[in-house]
Structure 1
């Protein structure tokens, strides 16, 4: 995946070597020799990825990382740190300061590029999700602190290795752990992270397990961390490209392992929050903001699909237009706030008398569209009469009004009845049939249901 990569290193030779390694990728490379220059460049044009030395100008890069994460537009830009020499304490410090990954030089080129692809892939996915959720500006507004314990399922081919890993994690993380080995199943319910233990000689089984977990519905969106024996280190590139979110060589420093796990869980929760916002936005786009019923944008395409399906299944479809009687009088006498309260109460009563799969939509000021898939004429009549009775029977109590407000409902009903060779009914024709039936109900005294005199088909 292409993107802009910012290299931050005070040694020109390191920058040149790294740029050469990245020349085989489609990424555009930008360089900075100091933390100040890097922050200036990143703030002006946020990169998709930052690769930085753990020491800049002879000083720890912690201050650079913390300053970077304080900038809203840069708070979630992935950062890969490169150590001049392995140091567990330094790796922990960088992770706490906000680094996404740390590698010690010399880094095999294949592994470096796999790590970069992994980070870019995750970042692009999150950025796209944030944009769809209408949260492009707020995408980086929080680097949430992990507070609630997560659920972690530990997988592996070898029972002993999996149980040893569970004991190790139990001593350094607050998360709830379950073992999913050959002879035991994980605890039921969603997981916040998966950990795969791949020991020496288990490469084939480990790759197959990762592929299965990333393909399964329950675990495909769950971050997967792999603890890999050093004898199988060459497998890291393949694991990362297959979808592993992190690969750690065993024996792992337990504090670093705990930090990496918590970071993956935090990222998952952030992604889930974005998905929740996206779902809420999508729901808001098809719901009436006042009553919570579906709106016209959802109702008409839904009805069009149901008409086509009715023909294919040779089934009936009942379509109703319902209108509150003399609703203008309610607004004029009691005020629009009271009118809104009446609309909400009526919507709730209508919904209570419909079954799952039926449609209820507010398509006008006081007008509702109701559709009953696979409904016989007899059922449609029962439902329409029951809806009128439900609205008439109990006046609506409105806050601030001394007495409840009486309300009645008129309904026009048409039945789409199809048979062999019947063409797909035109939706506009069906709605016109229901509308004529509604006018008939109004003309005959309101507070009743009237049926179309002929089939809409």
Structure 2
């Protein structure tokens, strides 16, 4: 694992010390002697982690962190504050400014490296999601990034702690920001986390008869909980467990005795990150759907058809099953556009798609092929069955006028349809589609408003 780390400190000796430790782990290290230089570097250079001193002249670390987190260009960069300050109030202030964690001077080598590696993993995942989402700005990714810091509803938190009195205290501490479900049994907690929509799991290191690190590892290995943030409550002096936990992918930790403000701040940080990444994943999924969906009709588009038809064709060939294709074209659609306008044409296309969707079966694949042409792929369907489905579609189009919403005007529409079915003579999905297309043109030449099957 490698990454670019920016070390920000006004004392050259501190910079050299951290730089040497990070270079020994093969990280790429940049340095800045003050907050202004740090902001400039982050704005103009790819930075993966910022190690930020608090006590600096001109602009302290809190202000630098706030500026980084308020800038859409840099808000995704994890910030670790490295400081001699070790008061809970300072940690809370830093976390509220957007810091992802703290390291106290003198810095422990193991905690430094494990913390940096853990944050790099998280950032790598977020960067991948951001990169994919930014290729589809039409779905509002810029608004998504600006909303990253919002927590509008209480978080859903699962607390795994064997002690009832500890559960009560933590539930009380988190009441302003989260609804906490407490559970004592670690194995039961795994199933609970997998089945319910939690946004954070808090794991106590003092579990009875169960290794807390094993629980954390299992949460990371299950598909349903792989991206669920985990916050470890460690005991004083538990540095070795903390380092191992971070290596396993635990997102954050807090040590006993718990400071209520720090627990709330760390919980809010994880909830915000979870919701941010969830929205990014949702936007990526949405962008994938947009890429294979026709924006006007809501049917799958030609790109999806080209890929999925190959899958269905090969599956039918392997299993010795029938596969039929129907291509349908709205008759004299150009006249509709020329007479009533393109807006009316769009209404016709949308209504045609609705009737097509209502006619085909759930297992059939309906796509807009382009213009006024549509394709239906019908798995496990013989030529005779396909002809019946196509005729049903033809009748649904002809049988009821299309009504324009803008004017209430009724327009009579018909459609021509060509069908083909796989056979030993059809060797490729492209050939299957071509035969259906030829049958469609035969239907057009024969007078339109009819179904024609390709010659066997």
- Structure-1-length-normalised TM-score: 0.91
Q: Superposition pairs for residues 49-198 of structure 1, below 5 Å?
A: 49-57=49-57, 60-134=60-134, 138=142, 141-156=146-161, 159-160=162-163, 164-165=166-167, 167-173=169-175, 174-182=177-185, 186=192, 188-198=195-205
Distance 1:267 1:52 in 2: 20
Aligned mates of 1:170, 1:407 — CA distance in 2? 66
Would the aligned equivalents of 1:46 and 1:74 in 2 still touch at CA under 8 Å?
Answer: no
37-46 vs 106-115, greater mean Cα deviation: 37-46
Is the alpha carbon distance of 1:402 and 1:33 closer, same or farther for their aligned partners in structure 2, counting shifts above 3 Å?
Answer: closer
Q: Whole-Å Cα distance in 2 between the matches of residues 58 and 402 of structure 1?
A: 69
Distance across 2 between alignment mates of 1:22 and 1:184: 40
CA distance 1:416–1:404, change in 2 (3 Å): same
Q: Secondary structure at the residue paired with 1:389?
A: helix
Q: 1:264 to 1:166 in 2, by over 3 A?
A: farther
Q: Indicate conservation of the 8 Å contact 1:233/1:249, yes or no.
A: no
Provide the residue aligned with 2:451 in structure 1.
449
Among 290, 294, 305, which residue is 1:288 paired with? 294
Q: Please list every run of 5 or more consecutive structure 2 residues that lacks an aligned counterpart in the other structure.
A: none
Alignment partner, residue 433 of structure 1: 435
Offset of residue 197 of structure 1:
1.2
Pick from 211, 222, 228: which aligns with 1:222? 228
Q: In structure 2, what is the equivalent of residue 300 of structure 1? A: 306
Bigger mean CA offset, 430-439 vs 324-333:
430-439
The Cα of 1:200 is off from its aligned counterpart by 7.2
Corresponding position: 1:411 with 2:414: no
Is 1:240 the equivalent of 2:246? yes
CA contact (8 A) 2:98 2:269 kept: no
Residues 151 and 192 of structure 1 are in contact (CA less than 8 Å); yes or no, is this contact kept in structure 2?
Answer: yes
Bigger mean CA offset, 127-136 vs 191-200: 127-136
1:319 maps to which residue?
325
Secondary structure at 1:244's aligned position in 2? coil
Q: Which moved more, 1:123-132 or 1:227-236?
A: 227-236
Instruction: Give ranges in structure 1 of 5+ residues lacking alignment.
Output: none
| Residue of structure 1 in register with 2:396 after alignment | 390
Measured after TM superposition, the shift of residue 400 of structure 1 is 2.7
1:58: how far off? 9.2
Structure 1 position 321, deviation (Å)? 0.7
Whole-angstrom CA distance in 1 between matches of 2:23 and 2:445: 78
CA distance in 2, matches of 1:354, 1:205: 54
1:35-77 superposed Cα distances (whole Å, 9 cap, x missing partner): 2222233323242111112221397522222222233322221
Shift of 1:448: 2.3
1:8-56 CA distances to partner (integer Å, 9 max, x unpaired)?
1122221122112112122222222222222233323242111112221
The DSSP-based 3-state class of the residue aligned with 2:174 is: coil
> Structure 1 CA distance, aligned partners of 2:310 and 2:61?
60
Indicate the residue corresponding to 1:343 in structure 2: 349
Whole-Å Cα distance in 2 between the matches of residues 99 and 396 of structure 1? 59
Distance in 2 (CA, whole Å) between partners of 1:55 and 1:198 is 33
Deviates more, 1:39-48 or 1:124-133: 39-48
Q: Once the 2 structures are TM-superposed, how far is the Cα of residue 347 of structure 1 from its aligned partner?
A: 0.5
Say whether the 8 Å CA contact 1:200–1:229 is kept in structure 2.
Answer: no
Alpha-carbon shift at residue 107 of structure 1 (Å): 2.7
> For 1:128 and 1:166, how far apart are their aligned partners in 2?
39
Aligned to 1:32: 32
* 1:133 match: secondary structure: helix
TM-score normalised by L of structure 2:
0.91
Equivalents in 2 of 1:314, 1:33: separation in Å? 71
